[in-house]
Every structure is written in structure tokens, then in C-alpha cells.
Amino acid sequence: MQPYQPSLQSMQAFTDQRTASSDDEIWLLEHEPVFTQGQAGKAEHVLQQTQVPIVQTDRGGQVTYHGPGQLIAYLLLDLKRLGLGVRQLVTVMEEALVSTLWHWGIVASAKADAPGVYVNDAKIASLGLRVRRGCSFHGLALNIDMDLSPFLAINPCGYPGLDMVQLADLCANVDKHEVAQQLLSQLTQRLGYNEVTTSTQIWQTPQG
């Protein structure tokens, strides 16, 4: 569980400081409650003010919500080295999410005109990227078992009336750690990595 702002700063610093020999990294985490507004985000998509802070960020896309019970995967990748364009990376993320959900028997799909992954027209995962110096950061958010009500205060990803759904509403006994490992496996396979090292790192020193 991480606050958003330090995570954003860590992604930016990692991307700015990496070299041609730096390993790619995928960060898996949850965020404390926050609305994030993309670079081209329009204020009218925030329908009402709440206790949840709104943070302007540098990813693409419109406003969305992050909170406990939602799996975040930040993809810090050297796209030039991987030979991937942004559209190809979006496809990789969408296919990895669809395959992860299929592991739990959930039939999901992507939409050509609305990035993300959907179950019966309800959105279960959102995507947002930034590319700097040929390297990506930001990534995806998968709703697992969370409070979806904050989405009612916005037009999610800029789409009025868009329904949101989560994995826990579609199947029982969902373990978020198992979902995270399945998603990581699907992503690394599609990105063609032949060696994966995992570690646990805390960016923010706990208070108290």
C-alpha cells in the first residue's frame, strides 16, 4: 500500500536516471485512495468534490480512481530495447489482463476505441502510460476487491455513465496476491523476458 505522489516521483526518477543497461522493472502495489487526472484531463469529468484528493499526473488519459483492493502494475520498460511501440505495449497489457481474468473463468475483452479491459461492457481494468526517452512508465489498474463507489464521483476515464466492475463481484475467494502473480507471469511471458527476479521494496517509511 503506497501513497500516490511518492510512487509517481519514484517512477519519474527511475526513468530519468536509467541507462541503456538498466533492467526493466514492473512494480506491483496498491494505492491509498486518490483520483488521478491525466495530462489532457478535463475538469468536467470530475462530477463532485469528495474527501479523496485529486492529483494531476503526467500519464495519458482522463480521470480515474485508485484505492485499496485495486492492483496497480507500473511498467518501467525500455521500449526501444524491446522493439515495442506504445500501441503494441497497450496490446500486451490488455492481453495479459484478459488471460489473467480467464484464469478465474472470467471472459473479458479489450475495445479498440476505449483502452482498457471490459466484462460485459463494464470496465474492470484501466490503462495509462507515459513514454520518455523511449522508456515507459505508469501502467494499469485492475479492480479486484475494492470500494467502487468513488467512481460515481467521476466520469471514469472520461466516459459518462461507464459502469465499473471488480473480480470479487464475478467469482468467490479471490486472493489478490495470486492475481498479482498471475498477472506478472502473463506480462513477463508476453514481453519475452527469460529471467525474472522479484523483490520487496518499501518506498515510503511507515509513520508511527
**What is the C-alpha to C-alpha distance for residues 104 and 169, in angstroms, rounded to an integer?**
12
Please answer whether residues 141 and 72 qualify as being in contact, where contact means their C-beta atoms are separated by less than 8 angstroms. yes
Catalytic site positions = 157
Count other Cβ atoms within 10 Å, centred on residue 190. Answer: 16
Count other Cβ atoms within 10 Å, centred on residue 14. Answer: 16
CA distances from 63 to 126, 131, 133 (A): 11, 19, 25
Nearest to 124 by CA among 92, 154, 157, 75: 157
**What is the C-alpha to C-alpha distance for residues 9 and 202, in angstroms, rounded to an integer?**
14
